[in-house]
Homo-oligomer: A and B are copies of this chain.
């Protein structure tokens, strides 16, 4: 195999192929920390589409698997390495060009989401999608997983902002799809097909993003509740009437974990806390805030706090974003990502409580409640084998529960390797077969990110 690798090393600019065992080992896992991760032959760090083509052509010729990787912040094991593969890291593909006239940015996949936001903001524009990990995740990874975030409840998910792609296919062909045209229906919707394909259909080497004028300063409403049902009822009432720009949920465990760390004076006795916002301009935003405060009160909120002060509002958003690290301080996390239709939200949270009690586990639930997308955080001690086993069982039971409530096994993180055992059951045999047919048509030898859901 080393002679094959020598060919790749020779075909690429110096420094592109890394074989140092310590460095290669550091690319074995993403944040899913899959214990079954393999070790790649090499990590390849191309700078351009042509280099990616060289890598994929070489891999196709040698029957070697290619594992595309952004920043490795994925939570489903979509970038877990396998023995004998090459990891294709986009970390050095970081160019961006902004065109204010077309309101688009052409971006290489390795730029961080936060960097994209910042560069376009310097041009007076806004890239909305905001996964909680936006400061450390790449735009390429966002596109591979069709990442969501907090503002999706009003502004949609990553796919809604992808106008065009350049993709290197499994045989090394580079293809351009879409471009800086706001409407384009010529041919099949292939740009949309590649968004969310988790590196299984091609390697994305360039993206054309749709940008918006800047967001207005939001008005924020925070409310605590004695029951999850009350909070969930309020969500359905609010989203039926207005379009909030954020509608986030934290359960008691999350509230307490955040309070342990941030000491903000959050109500430790509350069963649920909602952090909501409206970025409608002028008095409309304040009207929305007032409306949401009223709905929260009528739903039985124990405390409601509204603010139009951006810093004050942001403090609560920070608290919500901080929930994951705060809960993580209590042990290792299995981070779930199930979604349900809105009316099933309280049933889901209640069911998760039962699962936690049954397995004697701490499971904290945070949620992009306005989208019905929850992140149950299953806390466990990896040194305690029985607890780790129980955590894994609970992980599966939560997905089964979500599906039984008409929900999905993953709302915004992807299937990766971690959720693969549940995909066929969720999709059903017909949709699974359709997925397989598309995969086989585009990657017949199966060299692109094998081992994931497809």
Contact = CB atoms under 8 A, between A and B. Distances in A.
A262 interface: no
A354 to B, nearest CB: 22
Nearest to A440: B441
B189 A197 contact: yes
A239 B103 contact: yes
Interface in A147-180: 148, 152-153, 156-157, 159-160, 169, 173-177, 179-180
A280 interface: yes
Contacts of A419: 186
A389 interface: no
Contacts of A306: none
Contacts of A427: 186-187
A412 to B, nearest CB: 5
B187 A430 contact: no
Interface stretch (A219-227, A313-321, A336-344): A336-344
A288 to B, nearest CB: 9
A187 B435 contact: yes
A329 interface: no
Interface string A200-239: 1100000000001100000000000000000000001001
A169 B242 contact: no
Interface residues of A, number: 93
A176 B432 CA distance: 10
Nearest to A175: B430
A428 interface: yes
A176 to B, nearest CB: 7
A438 B441 contact: yes
Contacts of A388: none
A428 B173 CA distance: 12
A393 interface: no
Given A187-B431, A240-B100, A284-B282, A408 B181 contact: yes
Interface in A375-429: 406-415, 419, 423, 426-428
A371 B182 CA distance: 5
B181 A407 contact: yes
A29 B157 CA distance: 38
A180 B283 contact: no
Nearest to A441: B441
A409 B192 CA distance: 19
A454 B188 contact: yes
15 contacts: A157-B183, A176-B428, A184-B339, A185-B414, A185-B415, A186-B415, A186-B453, A187-B431, A188-B193, A188-B196, A188-B435, A189-B192, A189-B196, A192-B193, A213-B241
Given A169-B434, A188-B435, A189-B195, 19 more contacts: A101-B341, A104-B341, A173-B430, A179-B406, A182-B370, A184-B339, A184-B408, A184-B410, A185-B411, A186-B410, A186-B419, A187-B426, A187-B427, A187-B432, A188-B201, A192-B193, A193-B438, A280-B280, A434-B442
